[in-house]
Amino acid sequence: MLEADGAENSLKDNLLSRLSLNAEPCDAPVWRVRRLFARAEKEFDPAFRAFGFYQAKVEKNLTTGGDCWQARFVVTLGAPVTIRKRDVVVLGDATGDKRLTELLASLPLPEGAVLNHAKYEEIKERLRVFAAERGYLDFEFTRQQLRVYPDEAVAEIDIEAQSGPRYRFGELRFSKQALDEDFVRKLAKAREGEPFHTRKLAAIDRRLSDGGYFSRVEVRPRRDEAVDESVPIDIVLESADRHVWRAGAGYATDTGARVSFGYDNRYINPKGHRFSSNLRLSPVESSLIADYLVPGEDPHRENFSFGARLLHEDTDSRESDSASLIARQTIKTGTWTHTRFLELLYEKSLVGNDSTTATLLMPGYRIERTKADNVLQTAHGYRVSLEVRGSSESLLSTVTMLQLRGSAKGIHRFGEGGRVTGRVDIGTTIGENVTHLPASLRFFAGGDNSVRGYAYESLGPVDATGLPEGGRNLLVGSIEYEHPVVEDEWWVAAFVDGGNAFSSEEFEPRYGYGVGIRWYSPVGRVRLDFAVPDDTDKDEWRLHFGLGADL
């Protein structure tokens, strides 16, 4: 038994871990128990000193009779040693380094603090880490003293170090691979002559790995080859496979069963140009998309794409076939992604009894942002996007119009409990009568990601025969609460969706109510919802199934 009034649990644990007697069984020989009992104070002493107690006293008692020996230790800690003086000085080129000033201000064991030997070692370790990270590769301690005066219960820390010069990146030596070295340097975003920093080395590794061109990246500083405070950097690269084939399958209530096939070529040429294509087949929507991708001056921030798309859609409300050519410029600024595009669209569509053939040349702009603490299972996050596009009969178009679309979705979890998800989608079209627009530019509501309880794209204005014709405007929202029932893997949900597509000033929202089950699988959220519409003339209830990320 160990009694130590006023001692922290960490000190008690340290004392017991050092006590050899603590490991002896009840049937241990008495002579060995007595020998280990006798040296208990000697074993305790390093633990006392490590926590700043240099005047600790131990009273002890040992009983060896009965079924098991018993030892009792009563500890009186005494006054702890406190820091009377602390001098930590770094001389050399690091003297003017702002990071050093911040580090020195945050070091443990200020004057008046209780001495802790582990924290004293932490001071020295943090200085070593600072020097290694910031490129002071000749860093060394010229003095490191901890003076303890037990009778006065005080200690003094005296540490002095020489940082030496700050090293720089020397020659960047890339291994041979399929891309031009100039382009690889743009990917790496590193230059000879920059101040040496281990985080910059990690950033070089990350940027090259994230580019998608390499299967292996190794960044090796060659300290042994440094000349004039310049460290050469060897960057070993292994090219990823040039040709990539993909296949997938899925199911959603809106589109039914679907399969997809994709092909990418990572190395069209040594300048990093790429080709990507995807074929998607389902009873409701089938498409063939191909894009030629050109990296910008900063490949991580800017890229251009030139693509083509063939799309066939066949829903309960419309049927359309379209072909488009699209040129895009995508720029990332901070956490926002900006896309400027020019699309030439040719579409033949049948909406209800209305047949439309349209050609539109549409310049446009989209801005979007997604932030999530976990992509597969988000506790806190949001997604917002806004797009504007337009066309004019004076510029190769059969329709003059301006269209805006926006969407937002947010997720908030309450501690370890449930979470709330809110969603809103809006849109409006300025210009021609909606019947002059192709189906893809009209607004419909209803379906898995709209108003549940209603069929896919079944809501909106109707023509003279009662068939949906699509609307000029869209306003749809949803609020949903989910709660975990089996750890964080299985959840139950309740939701309310509302909104509609409309053309006149009169807005007649439709609502859907329901409950659902969520399974957070390793590849994403599997969602099964049972929804009831507020208008049961056509359906009394519907099931909605989907698979995908939270945002």
Together in a domain, 66 and 140? no
Residues 105 and 179 in one domain: no
CA distance 551 to 547: 12
Domain end residue (candidates: 162, 178, 195): 162
CATH at residue 90: 3.10.20.310
Mean pLDDT of 149-167: 94
- From first CA to last CA, the distance across the chain in angstroms is 56
- Within this chain, do residues 358 and 376 fall inside the same structural domain, yes or no? yes
301 and 412 co-located in one domain: yes
Evaluate whether 97 touches 27 at the Cβ level (below 8 Å): no
Average pLDDT over residues 290-295: 97
pLDDT at 1: 64
- Same structural domain for residues 132 and 183? no
Which of the listed residues 239, 254, 272 is the one where a domain comes to its end? 239
Predicted confidence (pLDDT) per residue in 159-182, tens digit = 999 999 999 999 999 999 889 999
In this structure, the answer to whether residues 391 and 446 fall within a common structural domain is yes
Is the model's pLDDT at 432 over the cut of 80?
Answer: no
Q: Out of 91-95, 252-256, 307-311, which region has the weakest mean confidence (pLDDT)?
A: 252-256
Note the pLDDT of residue 6: 65
- 244: number of CA atoms within 13 Å, CB side? 20
Is it the case that residue 523 has pLDDT exceeding 80?
Answer: no
Which pairs count as long-range contacts for 26-31, CB under 8 Å and 24+ apart, including other chains?
26/67, 26/68, 26/69, 28/69, 30/64, 30/69
Nearest residue to 454 (alpha-carbon basis) of 527, 529, 532, 351? 532
| pLDDT tens per residue across span 337-376 | 999 999 999 999 999 888 999 999 999 999 999 999 998 8
349, β-bridge pairs: 320, 356
pLDDT digits (tens, 9 = 90+) for 368-424: 999 999 988 999 999 999 999 999 999 999 999 999 999 999 999 999 999 999 999
The pLDDT value given to residue 259 = 95
Residue given tokens 């004293």 in the structure block: 120
Number of domains the chain is built from: 4
Same structural domain for residues 126 and 227?
no
Domain closes at, from 52, 76, 100: 76
Using pLDDT thresholds of 50, 70 and 90, give the confidence band for residue 86: very high
Q: Tokens 């329709």 belong to which residue?
A: 399
Q: Would you state the pLDDT for residue 384?
A: 98
353 and 368 in a single domain? The answer is: yes
Ranked by mean pLDDT, the top range of 16-20, 252-256, 317-321, 322-326 is: 322-326
CA count, 13 A, side-chain hemisphere, 54: 16
Q: Are residues 221 and 346 in the same domain?
A: no
Let me know whether 267 and 308 are in one domain.
Answer: yes
Same domain? For 99 and 206 the reply is: no
CB contact at 8 A, 82 and 154: yes
What band does 8 get if pLDDT is binned at 50, 70 and 90? confident
Same-domain pairing of 33 and 180: no
**What tokens does 470 get?**
């699509």
Which residue range forms the structural domain that includes residue 14? 2-76
pLDDT value at position 492? 97
